[in-house]
Amino acid sequence: MEKTIIELEQAAHTLKLLGDKTRLTILGLVKDGECCVCEFVEVLQMSQPSISQHLRKLRDAGLVKERRNGQWIFYSLNKEHDTYPIVQQVLEQIPDQKEKLTALEKAGLRIQCDS
C-alpha cells in the first residue's frame, strides 16, 4: 500500500485537536470501540456541555463519527478520514485508556451499546 501524505494544513488542524488532554483521552477511549457522551462525562469527570463541545470539534474535523441509538449518541473513530493515519499513530504511542472504561463497567455505569 502506498503511503498517503497528508496536507500540511490539514495535518496541523488535526494535531491542534489532538493537542488537548481531554480530546486526546476521548480519542483514546474510542480507539477500540464506541462510547456515548455520558460515558465520557463519567470517565473524564467534566461537565456534559464541555464534553459535547469537544466532541463537536472532533466531529466537525471528521475525526470521529456519531451514531444515535435511542436516547444515546455513540461516538467512534472515523477511520475513513484523511488524517486517520496520524491519529492512529499517535494513539499507539500514548497509554491505553481502556482501563478507564473497565472501571466504569465495574461500577455498572457502562452503557450497553446494543441496548
Cβ nearer to DNA, comparing 4 with 115: 115
What is d(CA 69, CA 115) in angstroms, rounded to the nearest whole number?
Answer: 8
Residue 110 interacting with DNA (CB under 7 A): no
Beta strands in 1-115 (DSSP E): 35-36, 64-69, 72-77
Task: Return the amino acid letter for 75.
Answer: Y
x/- letters, 80..109, toward a copy of itself (CB under 8 A): -----xx--xx-xxxx--------------
Helices and strands in the chain, H and E counts: 6, 3
Residue 61 interacting with a copy of itself (CB under 8 A): no
Answer for the pair 96, 60: CB distance below 8 angstroms, yes or no. no
Contacts with a copy of itself, residue ranges (CB under 8 A): 3-9, 11-21, 24-25, 28, 85-86, 89-90, 92-95
Contacts with DNA, residue ranges (CB under 7 A): 16, 20, 22, 36-38, 41, 46-57, 66, 68, 70-73
